[in-house]
């Protein structure tokens, strides 16, 4: 097994391929390099994007890639989820998050940035619209994901059954707590519902990268890689996809066999 620190250490070679980096910044840099490479290979690449604390370093690195010449002019993006009931202009919305951390710094054209509208009056129509826009864009080439400590991806929460397509979801208390920072630190202010791509929307992406850092993610990462498929851990379904790369720092990899 080649061991080359800056490139990360591959500890699980089949999909999901697991690569462990020296630290969270190294993982973020590697992911930004991969995205810049995907744009170079196909300037019209369609990318699915996450929010959360984890991707902040990745977005910083992507902005740095843009400063080095990565051109996002033909890139199309789809954000994976959004809260229900708050306008796009609300500072806690995922749209605001993306404007602040990525879009105001790079040249993705506004008409190529796609978001779910959390204030749509007809939620079902809004979810259908999103699926249609993804299909019209030719599907997602590279879906980047974070993961909740309970194993959620997007806002597909652990439940007895999971939804295949973009849908409305009731958030768990754990998820609302971990999003509280966007709402002045008060869980009570976090909207109880969200819209999210479904499991099939995500799994139909041609390639998927899951970025997880920090020891709080170690237990669920271990179950995602080695555990059975279960709706109790939505990310476990990533095992069904043949091009998934899980990029970790050492603390998030701590419970995996062979981790550095």
Residues near ligand GLP, by CB under 6 A: 50-54, 80-81, 146-148, 154-155, 175, 178-179
CB 134 within 8 A of CB 198: no
Strands 142-145 and 207-212: parallel
Nearest-approach distance from CB 179 to ligand GLP, in angstroms: 6
Which is nearer to ligand GLP, 147 or 238 (by Cβ)? 147
CB 182 within 8 A of CB 97: yes
Which is nearer to ligand GLP, 12 or 217 (by Cβ)? 217
Among candidate residues 101, 105, 117, 150, the one labeled active-site is 150
Indicate the DSSP class of residue 156: B
Among candidate residues 152, 167, 204, 245, the one labeled active-site is 152
Among candidate residues 82, 126, 157, 249, the one labeled active-site is 157
Which is nearer to ligand GLP, 70 or 171 (by Cβ)? 171
Which residue in this structure is represented by tokens 């791509």? 197
φ, ψ at 114 (rounded to 5°): -115, 135
Nearest-approach distance from CB 54 to ligand GLP, in angstroms: 3
Which is nearer to ligand GLP, 166 or 179 (by Cβ)? 179
Nearest-approach distance from CB 260 to ligand GLP, in angstroms: 22
CA atoms of 74 and 46, how far apart (whole Å):
9
Is 150 an active-site residue?
yes
Dihedral angle sign, alpha carbons of residues 110, 116, 120, 123:
positive
Is 157 an active-site residue?
yes
Nearest-approach distance from CB 165 to ligand GLP, in angstroms: 17
Q: Which of 155, 118, 119, 115 is nearest to 133 (CA)?
A: 115
Please give the positions annotated as active site. 81, 150, 152, 157
């Amino acid at each position: 097994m080649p061991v080359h620190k800056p490139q990360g250490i591959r500890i699980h070679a089949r999909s999901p391929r697991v690569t462990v980096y020296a630290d969270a910044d190294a993982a973020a840099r590697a992911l930004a390099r991969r995205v810049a490479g995907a744009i170079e290979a196909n300037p019209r690449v369609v990318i699915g994007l996450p929010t959360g604390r984890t991707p902040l370093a990745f977005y910083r690195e992507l902005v740095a890639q843009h400063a080095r010449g990565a051109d996002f002019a033909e890139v199309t993006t789809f954000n994976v989820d959004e809260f229900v009931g708050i306008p796009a202009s609300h500072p806690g919305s995922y749209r605001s998050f993306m404007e602040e951390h990525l879009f105001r710094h790079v040249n993705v054209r506004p008409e190529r940035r796609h978001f779910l509208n959390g204030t749509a009056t007809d939620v079902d129509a809004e979810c259908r619209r999103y699926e249609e826009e993804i299909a019209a864009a030719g599907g997602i080439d590279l879906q980047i994901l974070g993961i909740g400590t309970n194993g959620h991806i997007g806002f597909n929460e652990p439940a007895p059954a999971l939804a295949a397509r973009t849908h409305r979801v009731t958030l768990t208390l754990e998820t609302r707590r971990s999003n509280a920072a966007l709402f002045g630190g008060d869980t009570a202010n976090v909207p109880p519902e969200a819209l999210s791509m479904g499991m099939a929307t995500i799994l139909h992406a041609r390639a998927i990268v899951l970025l997880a850092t920090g020891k709080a993610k170690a237990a669920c990462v271990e179950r995602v890689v080695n555990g059975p498929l279960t709706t109790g851990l939505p990310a476990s379904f990533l095992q069904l996809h043949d091009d998934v790369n899980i990029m970790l720092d050492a603390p998030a990899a701590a419970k995996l066999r062979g981790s550095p």
